[in-house]
Amino acid sequence: MFLKRIELQGFKSFADRTVLQFDQGVTGIVGPNGCGKSNINDAIRWVLGEQSTKSLRSGTAMSDIIFSGSEVRKPVNLASVSLVFDNTQRIFATDFDEVEITRVIRRNRDAQYLINRTPCRLKDVTDLVMDTGLGRDSLSIITQGNISSFADAKPEDRRSLFEEAAGVAKYKKRKKTSLAK
Ligand code: ATP
Ligand code: MG
């Protein structure tokens, strides 16, 4: 499973519809300060259900993530981001080769979520990504702060991160639960 494409429109600095295409393997995003690199990361977490405006580096209202205008552009009223994942290995429990997850927000309205263009609840999105390693508290996104704490961590703590990443942690938890019974 890998992220094939991100489509953004009206999200933070991405006023116009912008499509970013990714291949398998490593992709680097480079550009001058303030060009929108971190906004792409915010967009990914937003689609996956992030509810904290603070961790999205935005204002207090969720609608603050909508493009608020610039010297040359008027503000817009809608933000929409879609993530398109390759699902040929059926990592997502759905029988499609591509999974498209979308979140849309309009000013003064609640957000809407869609899976393969069908409206759904936030819970459907969280359920879909659970166990794929993409979940909110997973290690699929490692922030700058996490990198330094990882580098400074004690070997035992670092090992638990590897166990989490390798998918061993959940089995250890289950073993502990059944031994306790
Ligand atoms: P750096 O290299 O400094 O980390 P970056 O490429 O990560 O920079 P971002 O933090 O992604 O930059 O983008 C910051 C830009 O996004 C700023 O110019 C800011 O004004 C703009 N921005 C953020 N939210 C909005 C919004 N709601 N509407 C319009 N522009 C926004
Ligand atoms: Mg940045």
With CA atoms as reference, report the closest residue to 39 among 61, 65, 62, 21: 65
CA distances from 3 to 61, 70, 106 (A): 28, 30, 25
Block mean pLDDT (10 aa), the chain, length 181: 96 97 93 96 94 93 96 96 96 94 94 97 91 74 81 88 76 86 81
Number of domains in the chain: 2
* Among the bound ligands, the one closest to the CA of 12: 1
Q: Which bin fits 169, alpha (ψ -120 to 50), beta or left (φ > 0)?
A: alpha
Pair (80, 124) in one structural domain? yes
Pair (16, 42) in one structural domain? yes
CA distances from 143 to 56, 106, 117, 146 (A): 12, 28, 30, 5
Q: Tell whether residue 116 is among the known ligand binding residues.
A: no
Ligand 2 centroid to residue 6 C-alpha, Å:
18
Residue 43 is predicted with a pLDDT of: 97
Pair (157, 119) in one structural domain? no
**Would residue 170 count as lying in a domain?**
yes
Pair (104, 172) in one structural domain? no
pTM of the model: 0.88
Is the CB of residue 67 below 6 angstroms from any atom belonging to ligand 1?
yes
**Would residue 138 count as lying in a domain?**
no
Pair (94, 155) in one structural domain? no
Q: What residues make up the domain containing 36?
A: 3-129
Is the CB of residue 39 below 6 angstroms from any atom belonging to ligand 1?
yes
